[in-house]
Every structure is written in structure tokens, then in C-alpha cells.
Amino acid sequence: MEPVSGLRFVVVGAGRSGVALTRFLLARGGEVILSDARTEGLSAEVAELGRRKVRLELGGHDEESFISADRVLVSPGVPLDIPPIRAARKAGVTVWGEIEFASRFLKGRIIGITGTNGKSTTTTLTCDLLTGGGLDAEACGNLGTPLIELAERDSTERTYVVELSSFQLEGIETFRPDVAVLLNVAPDHQDRYSHHAAYRLAKGRIFENQRPLDRAVLNRDDPESFGFKADVAAKVLLFSRLEEVSDGACLEEGSVVVRRSGRTQKVLPVDQVPLVGIHNLENVLASVTAADLCGVPPASMAAAIRAFKGLPHRIELVAEIGSVRYYNDSKATNVAATARSLESFSGGVVLILGGKDKGGDFASLIPLLRERAAGLVLMGKAREEIGSQIGEPVPTRKVVTMQDAVVAAREMASPGQVVLLAPGCASFDAYRNFEERGEDFRSRVRALEKDGSASERGA
């Protein structure tokens, strides 16, 4: 168990993870400085902690605090190369991410799930499969609940299903999941990583502390995920929707099956999977692989999959207006996610694209746009940059706001077609997060729906 009492900690980042870390440390007699570059947008909990024994450093970081600490604990999203963290490391101070620190207090089983796209859906679904099979499991990590929040209720019987971002994996040292899942790797966060190889290596750190008795789950259909097969120490299992695998999950005669140690078990027919898109079928295959390793029977898995409604802002049907369906995929925050979202529909898509560019290669979408898009609406700060990369492979309009984007898409879409928000960008040009962007899209679409209903009543 990691010592806390009497030690000096700097917690970097005063968001949910930073607050949870601070509360945990205080309860165990640690001395805490909570440091954040912001002064606005902080929760009331931060001020409440400041009225206790916590020293708040807001509006910037004091390098002296960092180099005089016993431990510097970093919240997800805070770059590990900012000057005060570099100075702390140079001074010999231990620097860990929240995941690394929290894992040192856990006795339960850990399933770690990472990938460029699909992490949240796979994490949530995997947890549902486990609880549906009678196991004590909780979903946490990048999904929303900091792992450290669950340490208070730790037990050897609990399974932690932890969504892990590349940022979180940068901050590990000994973190070792019993089951590590890598869904896929595609270009993302080019505004943070100098090159794609660095981003891929950050994802691959999920395997670096595993041992032969642990399990690594890789996507056979994704070259970058499968490419780790030769490098991991754990026993490898694969999932694939394109070919058969001997250990893992795949498709057989129209059904999802799990295979392990020479036996094959049917989970459910593919047409009973309630989620839209081939990428979600991959997420299901990954989840059943992990659940099978935990002993969940196929019948329980099937029931949980059928009941799974998906997560908000992931190809979520908002409304059908005038025979046009409106889908919210605000979580598609990179080009690869937009491509997968487009691939979920056979054609006739009016795509809303744009936001804050993360350095994406939008030109790679041109063949798919020509094949499946009926129109394109470019919105937000990145609209001109995206337009310069892709030209006009389909009829295109440029707008500034979500309101204008929804109106433009409505005007471009014909009955039987789809309006799809899959921005391929971060939301931070106009919103606090992708959830707020998705909520705005929902509200604008539902306003159209109400206007349409009122017009019909008037007619």
C-alpha cells in the first residue's frame, strides 16, 4: 500500500480527478497543494477544499511547490511536459498520473480498455456484461468516474473496467491491468503529439507491465492494434469481424461467437445487436472477449447486449422529421471516428463536420464522401481549413454556428436521407466538451421537430 500520511503532494488539475485525489489524500493525512492554471470554471468543491487544509494555487503553477513535493500527481489532460513538471522530475520528485496512483490501492481485478475510438462504449458494455453475469464490476476512468474515487470501496471481489486515454497512459509506471484491450489506433491528438508514432506508443503502454498470466486483447482487423501482438508479454486473444480467430471472439454463420481453449460458444445473432455501425460490432466483440475471460456465460452476455442502448452522442437517433433521420455523433472528435460514422450508413448522408481542428487529415474522407454523402455542412472554427483540404466533393455549405448548421442540413436533405453530426474535431471552439455540443444539436433538431408538428397542425 502506497504511503500517504505525512507526505507532501502537489495535485495538478482541479477538475473531477484532481478533486477526488485531493479528498483521498486528505483522508489519509497527506499534505496537499491543489494547482491549476485556471481561475474560472472550477467547481464549488475546489473552494470548499481551500477552506480545509488544502493550499490552492490557481491561475498558474508555482515551480517551487513542485520541486519541494514528495509526489506530484497529475490529472488526465494535463500535459506531462509543462515546465513545473519537468522541473520536478529533474529534481528527482516522483510524478504519476491519477491512474498510476489509484492502482496502488486496489486489490480487485482490472480490465483496461483503450483505443482511438469506441473506448467509452466498450467500457460501459463490458461492465454491463459483467454485472449481468453476477459479478461486482464498475466502469470508471476516462469515462467519467476517477479510479481513485472507487479505492474507498475496494475489495478482492471487485472488477474495475477502466477506460484509458493516451494521456492517462503517459502517466503510468507500474500500472498493470489483468486484461488489457486495445480497440484500434488511428491518427488523433496531432495537436499534442509531435508524430503519430508517439501517440501509438502511448496507447501501447497499456501492455508494458503485463506478465504471461495476464491477457492482452487485440483487434485482428486493425493493423496498428494487431501490430502489438509480437511485443506483449501477456497471452494474446483476438477479436475480428472479418476472419475467424482461435482464441477470442469473431463471427460465425451470422452470429457472435467466443472461442477459447478449443471450444466455441455462440453469444447471439448479429442482427440482434442493437447498435448502429460496424465499429460497434467490433466493440461488442471486444467486450465479449473480456467478459468470457471473467467467466460470464454466453446467455448472460446476450441478454446484456440486447438491453444495451448505447451511450449518448454516439450515433444517437435524435428525431425523424419529414422522413429525414437526424443522428447525433458528437463524440466523433477525430477523422477516423467520422469515417466510421459515415460507414454506418449506406448513402444519402448530409454530414455536419467541423469545430476545433486537432490536426486531422480531412482529405482522407474524400472517397467516402463521394460514395456516401449527399451534402456537407462545414461549421465552426475549422470550416475554412477543412474546406481547403477537401474542396467540394459533394454540395457544400459553410456556416458558423450549430443553429446555422442544422438549418443548412435540413435544407440540403431529401426524404429518406440522413443528417449526421460527426464533426471530426474537438468541440472547444464553441463548447466546453463534446456532450455540450451534442446537447445543442439535439435541442436544435427538436426545435425543428416542434416547428414541423406545428406546421402540420396548422395545415
**Catalytic site residues?**
119, 142, 189
Q: How far apart are CA 448 and CA 181, in angstroms?
A: 41
**Nearest alpha-carbon partner for 110 in 180, 41, 62:** 180
DSSP SS3 for 134 = coil
b/e sequence 50-69, b meaning 16+ C-beta within 10 Å = eeeebebbbeebebebbbeb
Phi, then psi, of 159 in degrees rounded to 5: -115, 125
Sheet holding 71-74, edge to edge: 55-58, 31-36, 8-12, 71-74, 94-97
The CA-atom distances, in angstroms, between 257 and each of 149, 247, 251 are 35, 11, 6
CB hemisphere CA count around 82 (13 angstroms): 19
Q: In this structure, what DSSP letter does residue 365 have?
A: G
Q: How far apart are CA 435 and CA 326, in angstroms?
A: 17
The residues, any chain, with a CB within 8 Å of residue 112's CB and separated by 6 or more, are 162, 164, 175, 177, 179, 180, 181, 206
Q: In this structure, what DSSP letter does residue 258 have?
A: E
**Nearest alpha-carbon partner for 272 in 284, 260, 261:** 284
